[in-house]
Amino acid sequence: MKGLLLKDFYLSWRYCRAIVMIAVAFLCLAFLMEDTLFFQAYPMMMLSSGIPLSLIGYDEQDKWLAYSGTLPYSRAQLVSAKYLVGLCFGVVAFVVGMVATVVRMHLGGEFFWESLVVVGTTLLCLGYIAPALMLPFLFKFGIEKGRMAFYVSVGLCFGAAMVLARVEFQVPLLVNSLWPLAVVAGAAILLYALSWMLSIRFYQKREL
């Protein structure tokens, strides 16, 4: 499993630099722009979704899928590597986005823990719902047929981020009760886990 992860991280460094640079640019804008939710959510969606998509595409292009059958890796491990890579890149974007939020709050003299929790939950949901919706289609149909799922899932989350930013998403009613946010965050994590298991099942049945 360690070898699979190293392979995917090496490929990400070599072939996915453009995605990383775009994400960095948006995260930098999060420090400068007034409405930062979109500039925080978009790079997280791109890293957690775009990099696994690119890696799957390169694997198919280089005939890795057929070659991997000769190696001592199960199909569950091959799927899990992509989910873990997307998870790792998403966590990095999440941490940077939260740092940007804290810095902006302190600079504006309006630091509130409740608002920070709201932003964190929103980023978590938007960042991991997209790959959760996309990856099962990729593992079932392949990169060409599954690519549309990427555009649809990212588009949905992209639109949600814009709407939330436009209406200045806040939850003042949750100041004294943050449990609904915990439910939402838990649902996003559960969806990602279910997507992971579904992708494994699809890929195990897929003819390569």
3-state secondary structure the chain: CHHHHHHHHHHHHHHCHHHHHHHHHHHHHHHHCCCCHHHHHHHHHHHHHHHHHHHHHHHHHCCHHHHHHHCCCCHHHHHHHHHHHHHHHHHHHHHHHHHHHHHHHHHHCCCCHHHHHHHHHHHHHHHHHHHHHHHHHHHHHCHHHHHHHHHHHHHHHHHHHHHHHHCCCCCHHHCCCCHHHHHHHHHHHHHHHHHHHHHHHHHHHCCC
Least confident residue range of 23-32, 41-50, 72-81, 172-181: 172-181
Is the alpha carbon torsion for 121, 122, 127, 129 positive or negative?
A: positive
Q: Which amino acid is at 172?
A: P
**Per residue in 144-175, pLDDT tens?**
766 676 677 666 666 665 665 555 444 444 44
**Model confidence pLDDT, tens digit, residues 176-191:** 456 666 777 778 888 8
Query: What's the mean pLDDT in 1-6?
Result: 81
Q: What is the pLDDT of residue 18?
A: 82
Residue 83 has pLDDT above 90, yes or no: yes
Confidence (pLDDT) at 194: 92
Identify which has the larger pLDDT, 119 or 202.
202
Share of the chain above pLDDT 70, in %: 73
Answer for the pair 119, 40: CB distance below 8 angstroms, yes or no.
yes
Please state, in angstroms and rounded to a whole number, the distance separating the CA atoms of residues 177 and 122: 16
- Give the least confident one: 47-61, 92-106, 156-170: 156-170
pTM: 0.81
pLDDT, position 174: 46
Structure tokens at 155: 């588009």
Domain, as residue range, for 99: 2-205
The 10s digit of each residue's pLDDT in 116-131 is 777 777 788 778 888 8
At 173 the pLDDT is 43
Q: How many domains does the chain have?
A: 1
d(CA 35, CA 116) in angstroms, rounded, equals 14
Residue 20's contacts (CB-CB under 8 Å, 6 or more residues apart) are 12, 47
pLDDT of residue 164: 54
Give the C-alpha distances (Å, rounded to integers) separating 29 from 22, 99, 163. 11, 13, 18
Alpha carbon 42 to chain centroid distance? 9
Question: What are the pLDDT digits (tens) for 137-147?
Answer: 888 888 776 66
What's residue 154's pLDDT? 64
- Side chain identity, residue 43: P
pLDDT exceeds cutoff 90 at 112: no
Contact between 19 and 47 under an 8 Å Cβ cutoff? The reply is yes
The span from the CA of 161 to the CA of 158, in Å, is: 5
